[in-house]
Amino acid sequence: MTAFGDFQPLCSQVPSYPWCNLFYRQLLDNNSSALTGLSQNTQSAPVGINPECGIYQVGFDGSLANIANIIACALSIIFVAGLIFLTGRRKAAVGRVEIWIFFALYLLTLPFQLITTGSFIAQGTRALVILSAIHAGLVAALFATLLGNAIVATQVVDDGTLSSLIPFTFFTVAFFVATLYISLDVAFTITHTFGPSNPSSSLHSIPLFVLTSIWPGAAALIYFGLMVYIVLGVLNEVRPLWYYVLSGVLFVLSQLDYFLLSKVICRGSSSKVDGSFIATLLETAAVGVMYLAWRSITEEDWDNDIRFPS
């Protein structure tokens, strides 16, 4: 039986799922006999725990590592750097500082994603575990900034001021630190609070599951709902709404590809690539459309007309 918080189905069915790196180290330290099949050899093991399909470590059996996603991440880094530059130029736009932080955090997640899913650092190593834990913390913090941007957009507090930036920064840092600590505890069993799993094969951690799976989805949904209210209920505009709808659709498609098609693509390519590169490109496209939506609702001719209800 699979319980809430079990990563076993994800780590066996979804190629290149980065949080499995944490459980690989946990099993290596506490119950290495649970590592079988593709996961048995740490020098060739793909990302995952006994995955049905995965990309071997670079150099093993001619593997080029997760080359497609490495290229997708590199292209996304260049694209997002451009968004950050364009955002910085819009000095008078509402929420400029807050959305700049969001884009900067997304940019930070990309090199960590490249490394933690790249299949060029041996499984079970301390370096891969620490990088995976930082990656998890950045993802949780990223969605905290996403929700924070929606709250700032309501103009409950003045954007770019200390009354906005202090709570914005506090919750971002809090999500990062909490997720980082839990991730390291899952991997290294530092305190036995969040690990090891019982039974070990379940790869169980409710806090890690909530922070890396439930929280991002919930934050994205709340963000979308608040932006629909602002665009339709406050601005009485339709055009920006289509940008937000398109961004949401691209994000959903990225998740569907990642969780449902990755294994299909992996098998179809004889373990050369999986669906992670498509998911990365779709996620980056969603962020790009989100920039267009933000630019659309902060046009100069609207700046003096917006009045939010008190």
222-250 residue pLDDT tens: 999 999 999 999 888 899 999 999 999 99
Q: Is residue 220 part of a domain?
A: no
Which residues make beta-bridge pairs with 204? 6
How buried is residue 206: exposed, middle or buried, by Cβ count under 10 Å (0-12/13-18/19+)? middle
H runs (alpha helix) in 40-199: 67-89, 96-116, 126-153, 162-188
pLDDT of residue 250: 98
Q: Is residue 172 part of a domain?
A: yes
Q: Is residue 33 part of a domain?
A: yes
Instruction: Give the percent of the chain with pLDDT over 90.
Output: 79
Domain count, the chain: 1
What mean pLDDT comes out for the span 35-61? 94
Q: Is residue 211 part of a domain?
A: yes
Q: By C-alpha distance, which of 273, 279, 308 is closest to 68?
A: 273
Q: Is residue 269 part of a domain?
A: no
* DSSP line for 188-201: H-SSSSS-S-SSGG
Q: How many CA atoms lie within 13 A of 203 on its CB side?
A: 23
Tokens representing 80? Answer: 């997002």
- Kindly tell me if the per-residue pLDDT of 301 is higher than 80: no
The string of pLDDT tens digits covering residues 94-104 is: 889 999 999 99
Q: Is residue 18 part of a domain?
A: yes
Contact 123, 45 (CB under 8 A): yes
Q: Is residue 206 part of a domain?
A: yes
CA distance 261 to 256: 7
How buried is residue 24: exposed, middle or buried, by Cβ count under 10 Å (0-12/13-18/19+)? buried
The string of pLDDT tens digits covering residues 115-162 is: 999 999 999 999 999 999 999 999 999 999 999 999 999 888 888 888
Q: Is residue 248 part of a domain?
A: no
Weakest-pLDDT range from 114-123, 190-199, 263-272 = 190-199
The residue assigned the tokens 């834990």 is 133
What mean pLDDT comes out for the span 41-65? 94
Domain membership of residue 137 as a residue range: 8-215
Tokens representing 151? Answer: 């709250």
pLDDT band at residue 208, thresholds of 50, 70 and 90? Answer: very high
pLDDT band at residue 113, thresholds of 50, 70 and 90? Answer: very high
Contact 197, 23 (CB under 8 A): yes
- Kindly tell me if the per-residue pLDDT of 308 is higher than 50: no
